[in-house]
Amino acid sequence: MEVDILEFHVPVENNKTLFVWDIQPSNTEAQIYDGLDRVFSSFGPLYLLKVCPNAPLNPPGFYALIKFYSAAQASKAQRRTDGRSLFQSSPLKVRLSSKHTPHFLSDRSRPLSHARCLELANHYLGFNGWTSDIITLKELTNEEEEEEGGGRVRRLRLGCLLQLSFPHHGQTSRAAAVVEDSFTCTGEQQQV
């Protein structure tokens, strides 16, 4: 059994990114996108699929960047698609990225957006394979400060306790989060 641990972070590693080139210009960019999506998403969920026209000095055609959440799925996709025609008459070249990630990005781990987390969880757990419930949502602070020039800045901090349930496995887990944001008040405000 092959096990692949996925973290709910934006994938930045080279071993999760494929570079595809020698894409013929006989199809539209949208058709190429659909063809690549159909082929490569069969190996696992994709974080990114981007189709770009070749640079002006190169022959007409396209290239694509494909980013997987999983290094194992990216590697498998590369091995099984390199040198194959897939959706066009000539073979494609498919390689794992060799681009060097700048040092200031290599150790930074950004969490996935809420929508991407839901997409990934639904893919692996099934749409009905899990639920999330907000147990508590509480306003922790709501402060207002005068700003230079007469404006006001409001700082709002909310705390949330969330429960994830996996009914098919009889498991639940709780998590807590605090979010803080500030915004500028621009108009007259009425107290209710």
CATH of the domain at 144: 3.30.160
Say if residue 34 is in the same domain as residue 75. Answer: yes
Question: Is 70 within the bounds of a domain?
Answer: yes
Single-letter code of the amino acid located at 32: I
What domain count does the chain have?
2
**What is the pTM assigned to this prediction?**
0.70
Quote the mean pLDDT of the chain.
Answer: 85
pLDDT in tens, 24-66: 999 999 999 999 999 999 999 999 999 999 998 889 999 999 9
- pLDDT for the residue numbered 102: 56
pLDDT in tens, 73-95: 999 999 999 999 988 989 999 99
Query: Which residues on neighbouring strands pair with residue 177, listed in sequence order?
Result: 160
CATH number for the domain spanning 74: value is 3.30.70.330
| 131 in Cβ contact with 165 (< 8 Å) | yes
Per-residue pLDDT band at 162 (split at 50, 70, 90): confident
Q: Is the pLDDT of residue 142 over 70?
A: yes
Torsion on CA atoms 70, 75, 81, 87, rounded to nearest 10: 20
Question: Is 86 within the bounds of a domain?
Answer: yes
Distances (CA, A) of 191 to 19, 112, 157, 188: 56, 37, 20, 10
Q: Is the pLDDT of residue 17 over 70?
A: yes
- pLDDT for the residue numbered 105: 54
Say if residue 25 is in the same domain as residue 92. Answer: yes
Look at 64-73, 109-118, 133-142, 162-171 and tell me which has the smallest mean pLDDT. 109-118
Structural domain for 150, as ranges: 128-183
Q: Is the pLDDT of residue 174 over 90?
A: no
Q: Which residue has the higher pLDDT, 187 or 160?
A: 160
Average pLDDT of the segment spanning 66-76:
94
Q: Is the pLDDT of residue 176 over 60?
A: yes
